[in-house]
Each structure stands twice: as structure tokens, then as C-alpha cells.
Amino acid sequence: MVWFPTEDRDGTIIVTLTNSERNTLQPALLEEGIAVFRALAENRPEGGIVLTGAGEHFTCGMDTKVAASLDRAGQKQAAAAIDAFAAALHRLPCAFVVALNGNAIGAGGIMALAADWIVAAQGNYKIGLPEAKAGLPFPPIPQAILDHWLDPVWRRRLALSSHLLTPAEALTAGLADELCMPDELLDYAVARAKELNGQRGFAACKRQLRAKANAEIDAILGA
């Protein structure tokens, strides 16, 4: 089963997370995502990359039923897959835009923070990091992404309260960079990815900007 189908939109690759009604995550899906994004990193699309979700949700995070069924070895494997998936997103060398089409809960918030730009559709849905409520502390690499890319005040508020934000509130908190109409989301995100990636110095500036975070991620993976 393909959970991450791709579409080439005139040089911009659109990757769509597709898994059941709520686009929840599980180890096999994460492994597929790791392979997809590592391949894209090795063959950089000229127009950058856009990640979105199928249907009404971006992703509602880990599949709690699958997580509850894992034995200790399975839990260890799942944690490693989460770290590797987050690292693969964060290390993309070209422009990476997340197009939030609906609920982005838990891992969805981390996936957004790993992007260079977050475009959120206007609508009645939530964005947030409710790991404390779910009883799932952040794995090391998602925590590193939080530490580097979310303002400390909002990091404290969201990580400890599990409060979920509307798209407009996410814009204030730094979990979104722009809002647009739902029917314009993908076109807008593709245009933004092309614009970012089309700058002559974009790749070099991104490499500089992410150097400290990537060094920390390398240290975690090598531990």
C-alpha cells in the first residue's frame, strides 16, 4: 500500500499523506515516508517539495491503537522510525513547504515545524502538540525540532498544556506562516515552494540556517 503518493506539478513534487480517514501514523507508514523523502533529498526537485494530507486531515498523529499493540521491541522500532522520519524532513536540501489542509495534531505539528514554510487553509480545524495529554513524551529529534523552530514561550504553552490552536492562532504562535482559502491551498503552496527554491542562494542560506539543528540531529542519531 502506498501511503505517500507523489505528483510532479511542473517541477514541484507534491507528496500526499494518505492513511484512512484521519491520516494517522504507524511504523510501516513512517518507513515508507523515510524512503520517499530520502530519495527526494538525493534528487532535488527544481521547484521544491510540498507535503499535504488527503481528505479533511493533515494528520492526527500516531495511531493510538497501533501504538498500544506494540511490544517493547515494537515501541523501540516505532520511536526510531519517528526520529528518522522527522530527520528526513528536516534535512531536505531544497524548499520544503507544508500545506495544512486540516487537523495537524502531535506529529503533524512537528512535521510542520520541520518545513521552511507553512501554509494553512482557513477552516474549523486544530493544530497543536498534545503529547502531554496523550502520555507520549516527544522523541529526541522532534524535541530538537521544537527547540530550534518554535518560540520558547509558545513551546512552553503548547507542550505543557496540550492546547490546540485554530489556523489563525497558529499564525500568531509560529505554527503557520500564511493562511489561504482551502480551494487555493495546493496552488498557493506550490507557488511558494517555487518562489523559495528559485532564489539563487536559497540552498546555501537554508544549509546555514539549519546547521546547528542538523548537527544536533546527527548527534542524536549517532548516539
Give how far Cα 32 sits from Cα of 12, 126, 215, Å.
20, 26, 24
Bridge partner residues of 117 (DSSP): 97
Question: What domain range includes position 137?
Answer: 6-184+196-222
Asked whether residue 189 is assigned to any structural domain, the reply reads no
Asked whether residue 81 is assigned to any structural domain, the reply reads yes
Total number of domains in the chain: 1
- CA gap 85, 30 in Å, rounded: 6
Give how far Cα 154 sits from Cα of 97, 133, 163, 176, 193, Å.
21, 17, 10, 13, 26
Asked whether residue 191 is assigned to any structural domain, the reply reads no
Asked whether residue 190 is assigned to any structural domain, the reply reads no
| pLDDT one-digit tens code per residue, 18-61 | 998 899 999 999 999 999 999 999 999 999 999 999 999 999 99
CATH number for position 18? 3.90.226.10
| pLDDT one-digit tens code per residue, 67-90 | 778 777 877 888 899 999 999 999
- CA gap 127, 121 in Å, rounded: 11
| pTM value > 0.85 | yes
